[in-house]
Chains A and B, each alone.
Chain A
Amino acid sequence: MTKEIYTILLAEDEEASRFLYSEELTEAGYRVLTAANGLQALGLLEDEHVDLLMTDIKMPDMHAMEMIPLVRADHPDLPILVASAFKGMEDDFNLKGFNISGFFAKPVNMELLKNRIKIILAGKIPSVV
């Protein structure tokens, strides 16, 4: 029997935050992949089917602004959410034409985040595991 399940990739260097998102989203019924830095995230994107990417802005090896173009090269339509301690950077990302689906300032309101993910993935055909 095939179960329709969406896969979310979390790129977050902060272990506590990563664990928090992972717990919340797993509980909400998503398959969660986690990466502690940009390179790990890019590797997982190559190996796995991912329906949505949620990324931190500042990671030890690369900035979200460096990573997103690399992601977009292979996955032009992948929904991307950005979460950061920096407030008001939404404009910067939009101006760059990164086609971001959402921006969340830390501390992230989990209910809002889950709602947004739900809406984004509603029209999308989930991956089959």
Chain B
Amino acid sequence: MNARERFLALMTFQEPDRNFIWEFGYWAGTVRRWYKEGLPSIKGLPEGVGEGTGLFAECAGVPLHRDTAYDVHDYFKMDPYLVRVPLNIGAYPPFEVKIIEDHGDWYIWQEWDGCLRKELKDRSTLPTIVGGPVSDRESWEHYKAERLRPSLEGRLPSNWPQLVEEYKKRDYPLGLGQTHGFFGTPRYLMGVEELLTKYYDDPEMMKDVNNYLADFWIALFDGVLKDVDVDTVFIWEDMCYKGGPLISPEMFREFILPGYQKLTSFLKDHGIRIIQVDSDGDVWKLLPLWIEGGVTAVYPFEVAAGMDIVEVRKAFPKLGITGGIDKRAVAQGKKAIDRELKAKVPFMLRHGGYIPSIDHMVSRDVSFENFKYYREKLNQMIKRHSKAWERD
């Protein structure tokens, strides 16, 4: 099987030849640490990447020809990347990137999507979102008219026809979707606190936001799917923390679920069988709602937030699962790695629909030695559960 066939078989609970040698991603600071600890620097890291920049890896998906942590990929002989279509599904035309407030070591700056981010100037850590271009009905109407026109004009790269030709010959899985979701996108538009109170202050506006986003994304995806078929769609939410969802399941049902149902119906009508949601935190209470909304797979199941993929598999036998291996165990050392892998991976591989990976970006407290040990042990487990193993 090639990687595309393997992905389709695995995530639809058929029998692949073997599982993937894939990871979710790495913080740039982690890769820099590994260079000092023995990882050969051949391709290096992209220019200007701060320590806190996340570098997506194979299962999270990377557009073709986009810089990422290729040295890690090559050193560990990972399987081919899942490739994401470089479709801009956010603001177009983009906002001017500029500093709004300068506070010495840190600033608040406006990103291309209009989102206001508070961030250290050296980009050594993750930014936090403090606001965005939408605050009320008037600004929402203005934003959608100006920046969310349902047209592909300007939203695909100039080499799109060449990319389409490459995609048509592919042996890797192809995915659609960037950082977009029915909670994730409104958070970028408004900031978290504004969004959370807006559900009470203007519920009709929030219903319009998600209804419009569903129609808008459907229109864009429809245009892309006329050129090329895709294997999976990503939806990004990050709407949970370690105490559970940021909003109640009832609020999800009222405001979020209709958008999911509309979008996933369209995708399934177009033959897309694998629809994945990315959310950190304790996602237990939302899993049934996502499934009801047509989602077929979820990642990355953060262990620090209390997620246990073995328990998730028992509760949801046909939910695709990626991740769930505790990054903190990999930081701790060999005994903790052995314990973590043994507790989860054999069970998960036996039950299918699972792609093994650390439960988020690999953090800077993970040594190269520990990561190597973890990958060797994990690969051995994958090999033992394979029908075919062509890698040795």
Tell whether A and B belong to one assembly: no
Q: Which residues of B approach A to under 8 Å, CB–CB?
A: none
Q: Which residues of A approach B to under 8 Å, CB–CB?
A: none
